[in-house]
Amino acid sequence: MPVVAEKMPKIDLHCHLDGSLDLEVTHKLLAERGEDYNFQEFRKLMQVDPDCQNLAEYLKRFDLPNRCLQDVEGIKTSAYHFAKNAALENVKYIEARFAPVQSMKQGLKPIEIIEAVEAGLAQARGEFDIETGMIICMMRGMDDEFNYSIAKAGREMLGAGVVACDIAGDEESYPMSQQMELFRSVKALDMPFTIHVGETGNAQNVRDAIDVGAVRLGHGIAMARNEELMKYCASRHVGVEICPTSNLQTKAYRHIKDCPICLFMEHGIPVSLNTDNRTVSNTNLSTEFDKVSVSFRLTDEQIHKIYTDSVEMSFASDDVKHRLLSKWR
């Protein structure tokens, strides 16, 4: 299976830019900005240990990468290598999600950050066989007015690189009930959105996200223990972005057998298989497919369905979707 996974075309719909930076490039960018690290120590600061204990420990690995995403050149270079590395493992389409607020510490405006990411992605598209989209992340814990301004900045480039928006952050402290009005406003912008929900066990967050208009759910694990909610999700044809390795590392579940990918598929829920954070989790999409395929003995038909469902639930244009479907052999 490993050779098959590496060679087959793949779609990554849930992948954070700051958690997926090229190690060597980031090491060099930080050195140019006055932060020189021993490379082996640097690697430990960028990637979680196999025995990572929780989400809080996992999130510490984002401190360094965000420090080289504070100027246009650093952002553009990082985005280029992000897409390049995905293309080299035969990922044909990737949606890069990022929170502009994390790159505003030195005065960049949200639109400047979004344009810099798109410049790097566009360069990679011109050099490699890959299509890209940007998902603009709002952050839990920020006030609605600020988050709405981030969504509006993304809306300015909708169709010009931006494909959707999202909200990430501490789901347990800031449940969906606090963000319903925000997403009603985002929906009024005619801005598509996915939402990080259900990662920490709160099924009500999943229900609220669907009700407010999310067409995809980031993780959605809490739904696996709720038969009625799975049926509701399937009836609305809401897709779920599955990220096995990162969920294991953050202890969202304890064993790969607890990953609900097949359970969701059995209930008619569209699923995609994703990396979440390629560098922080020390993974890629081939590894994710190998891990899930071996654990659940996926058939060729199931793997093909994951690919086609991923294309259909992507925020790509119809033309891009048609090209992606034609790449499956």
For 7, other C-beta atoms within 10 Å of its C-beta total 12
| Phi, psi values for residue 166, rounded to 5° | -155, 170
Find all residues with CB under 8 Å of 166, minimum gap 6, and list them: 97, 135, 136, 137, 138, 193, 194, 195, 196, 218
Supply 294's token pair: 């071996």
For 162, other C-beta atoms within 10 Å of its C-beta total 22
Question: How large is the angle between the packed helices 110-127 and 144-156, nearest 10 degrees?
Answer: 40
Supply 191's token pair: 């801005």
Residues with a catalytic annotation lie at 199
Handedness of CA 307, 310, 312, 314 (dihedral sign): negative
Sequence-separated contacts (24+) of 53-58 with Cβ below 8 Å: 53/251, 54/250, 54/251, 55/200, 55/250, 55/251, 55/252, 58/246, 58/249, 58/250, 58/280
- Count CA within 13 A, CB hemisphere, residue 1: 16
DSSP state for residue 132 in the 8-state scheme: E
Burial of 301 (0-12, 13-18, 19+ CB in 10 A): exposed
Could you report how far apart the first and last alpha carbons of the chain are, in Å? 16
